[in-house]
Structure 1
């Protein structure tokens, strides 16, 4: 469907009404693209899960990534999620596969015993509770994750909020490596990538900002309607709105 032929009001109304539960971005098919990191996190996650005895997926979202990683989970497999709509979605998706989904309101504290898991994983955690990850890992256990890096979607953030020089500074790989080491984890693999994002219509931008809400924390279509109109005109005139994401793959072992 050629969304460029639709009116601004129609695109905004549609994107403002659609559900943003879960971590499935298929609604954006044909409307936005994001380059993928070269390492293939989900495939690597499946390999590690198949070799683990007990594993925990932190901030699992709607469970989509974990569900698609493998058909052979460890004998003890759990996941945590704090957002109620995602808790329900993850439970429905993962429980039939033998994964226990734990609804926790504060994922800075993991509700598990010391040394409970030999593998802890996460894809795009909002925050990384390094001390808790280290605590629940058994000696020699591994944290394996793909993190969102600094300055991700910075072009979108600055379009709506103005200059944002410290965007994601706490997510820099060097900072996270130091945090991991401080709690007894040895970083054994670290890979980084800067990736191209394209938004082909204003509805795609609205959907993304509603779903990835920390990009513009106070976003609403009402508050930013004038900026959205200007962006819509820009996209129609010049083509897709271009932004970039950063990602890093991190693997750390408990000493």
Structure 2
């Protein structure tokens, strides 16, 4: 019988609820979902399917690494509702004009995104939507909820290459072969569909390097980082500039290719 125990905070939860089987490594399933994603780039549900199919023990391993970080207990005890906090744009607008929080609001409203929308997308997958009530699930949600914030911090846009580079960055922060697969498979598909001298693979690889050099965003107090000037937040997290990504955009534009209209994306 599945454990439905309610805990006062994530700090009281087990690392892994053993009533749930660990995800299996299913590369064939991942490739099938990748082909679906290429056919409809906007179907972000396919991304979650791919990550799950190639995760193996990555979710548990990443949660275990988080528990070793200095602020883990404090963050779990406070248990801030990140989607609600990130979607409270009125409150974020009260932060200084040069803050990360203000930049995040501009990005989300320009792109027509919400943190709650990403939650709904991920929770709509599959038929088993039971809560695991473990730290692995809690930390996985924390990584999901900070995805769009990584776009703002790294400078990678929501164009096809920008998404692949953010995934490369994310892989180095919290390794999962599904994330790495999407990053490089997507980059190769871009080269196939839009031949160019743009340094696409180098850009993704650079994203990996930048992610490895940076502090792990999910390990820190997101509210405090949102209040920082965006340059200070990047310096605190040691996030470098994505030079190959910028070079790739210039190369595409020089060839008359719209980098925001690749892989079937609307311009």
TM superposition score normalised by structure 2: 0.28
TM superposition score normalised by structure 1: 0.29
Q: Which has the higher strand share?
A: 1
Q: Which has the higher helix share?
A: 2
